Amino acid sequence: MERRLISNSERTTRSSIVDHFGLKLEKKKENPSHQNEVTPADPELHSHVSPVQHEEPISTYLEEKVPIPDDDVSKIFSFRKLWAFTGPGFLMSIAYLDPGNIESDLQSGAKAGYKLLWVLLGATIIGLLLQRLAARLGVVTGMHLAEVCNQYYPTTPRIILWLMVELAIIGSDMQEVIGCAIALNLLSVGRIPLWAGVLITIVDTFVFLFLDKYGLRKLEAFFGFLITVMALSFGYEYVRVGPDQGEVLKGMFVPYCSGCGPVQLQQAVGIVGAVIMPHNIYLHSALVKSREINRANKKEVKEANKYFFIEASIALFISFLINVFVVAVFAEAFYGKTNMQVSQTCNETGSPHTDLFPLNNETLQVDIYKGGIVLGCFFGPVALYIWAIGILAAGQSSTMTGTYSGQFVMEGFLNLRWSRFARVLLTRSIAILPTLLVAIFEDIQHLTGMNDFLNVLQSMQLPFALIPILTFTSLKSLMNDFSNGIVWKIGGGLIILVVCAINMYFVVVYVTALNSTILYVFSAFLSIAYLSFVLYLIWHCLVVLGVSFLNVSSCFQPPPAILLEEEEFET
């Protein structure tokens, strides 16, 4: 008889979700026509049950499991075990180094100098805490966030949630692909147009994504190589410019911004929005499933949580340093510079891009394209090309992890069981059309407006990752002894509230700057629908957190029945 492969831990996890919401399953008597069905005890819930679908094993990033060495369990720390757990955190950290983050960093340095480094530090720490929740969900349950959402939420909210997360992935993907295309344009001295760079990036992403056919550790090593390229590239710029180390430390640890106005405030909000990305929560909860962990053994689960947190801390510390390199370079070299000053310097060095900077005394406005140009004007062509190499590594690596995010999210929410090539093709294609349209019809010199829009788009999607991750990691019947305690419930709730409020402020500022009555009316209607769905998710979250008076019996729909074969189902 054909069997569906499912781990003991996943069976336990799924059963816990079912039990928490009152879905009782009965084992049917052995019957050839019903061997693959489980019927709910409550006839009213029968509509949730469908026959088990038998699928051939599919190839995915998680097909290979990395074994964990059996060191002495009495040892507090083992470098061998840390090395075995190293990988998922570094792939996750790439989202903190994508072209959108790099652009936010350079704009922060150019607009506020070193004064907002403490915001970057705080956002990275908050990001680490949220990534900890994501990793714990994957380690403890054996399912990633999209899979748990699929089991928990009713069909309509689940589809809406999937669409919102897909929008975030598309927005991030567009920034990453455009970033690669800009890097290729800089490296080719303008010979490769933006649209051609987009096509090249899409094609080579397909090639790189199949590296895991040669082994999961080799794929993780490749990502490590790209992070190293970024560190060396932006580190070179840091050494070449030579920022004031005292000012760097002061900006990092003194939470104050003297002389700052609305421009700096918006930039600070933009830093938080760029660092904390919704699809990265889904990604990290899936990546940790790539290690061999006996989830029936509490000590192993606890140990895995510990080492994954250490690894994520190291990875985000490295990503933070790289971000600091970029902020400090532009703070030291270009803070307070005017377009006139930059234009004169570029003219003196014979740069062909002097037309990028109008002859006025307005403060210099930069993006990742203009950033490379001004580095070339002030510090020579080597600085420009090394900058472009760093951007290319950032864009290529984040495009690949973004594609993995798309696969995990689509498979989890929709339970798709397609071939590997079909899944990669679909997740790539979703972002190809809008990115190509932008590349064809938008001038490479005027992409800042598009980048702002994409940042707003991703900021709006944050609640659709942060609220579910707090909900499920607080669910006792799902996480058992590893569910959030009172400190994490309150602290996590406050962190998510602050992050979402900051990002909503960013959205409001962006919309009010559009100066269009039609857009205001459209935004008002959109806001009503958006807030209604967010409140729905908050409602579920508050019930799980213990606000019992909100738990109206009809507010929770049971999740879909978990269908197991008879010999796999335990009463």
Q: Does residue 50 register a pLDDT over 80?
A: no
> What residues have CB less than 8 Å from 355, skipping those under 6 apart?
none
The domains of the chain, with CATH numbers, are: 80-550 (1.20.1740.10)
Report CA torsion sign: 436, 440, 443, 449: negative
User: What number of other Cβ atoms are within 10 A of residue 112's Cβ?
Assistant: 25
Give the N- to C-terminal CA distance of the chain in Å, as an integer: 21
Q: Does residue 57 register a pLDDT over 80?
A: no
Structure confidence by residue, pLDDT tens digits, 327-355: 999 999 889 888 888 888 888 888 887 78
Q: Does residue 463 register a pLDDT over 70?
A: yes
Instruction: Return the pLDDT at 216.
Output: 83
Structure confidence by residue, pLDDT tens digits, 155-169: 899 999 999 998 888
pLDDT band at residue 228 using 50, 70 and 90 as cut-offs: very high
Angstrom distances, CA of residue 33 to CA of 66, 292, 304 = 39, 36, 42
Q: Which of 32-41, 217-226, 269-278 has the lowest mean pLDDT?
A: 32-41
Beta strands in 46-142 (DSSP E): none
**Residue 70, helix vs strand vs coil:** coil
Q: Does residue 405 register a pLDDT over 50?
A: yes
Contact 170, 431 (CB under 8 A): yes
Structure confidence by residue, pLDDT tens digits, 104-119: 999 999 999 999 999 9
* DSSP H/E element including 246: helix 245-253
Angstrom distances, CA of residue 369 to CA of 373, 376, 542 = 7, 11, 45
pLDDT band at residue 386 using 50, 70 and 90 as cut-offs: very high
Q: Which of 52-61, 386-395, 430-439 has the lowest mean pLDDT?
A: 52-61
Name the DSSP letter for residue 338: B
Q: Does residue 323 register a pLDDT over 50?
A: yes
CA distance 274 to 269: 9
Instruction: Return the pLDDT at 483.
Output: 92
Task: Tell me the whole-structure pTM to 2 decimals.
Answer: 0.84
- Residue 245 CA to chain centroid, in angstroms? 31
Of 296-310, 418-432, 544-558, give the range with the top mean pLDDT.
296-310
Instruction: Return the pLDDT at 218.
Output: 87
Mean pLDDT across 139-159: 92
* DSSP H/E element including 437: helix 420-441
Instruction: Return the pLDDT at 420.
Output: 65
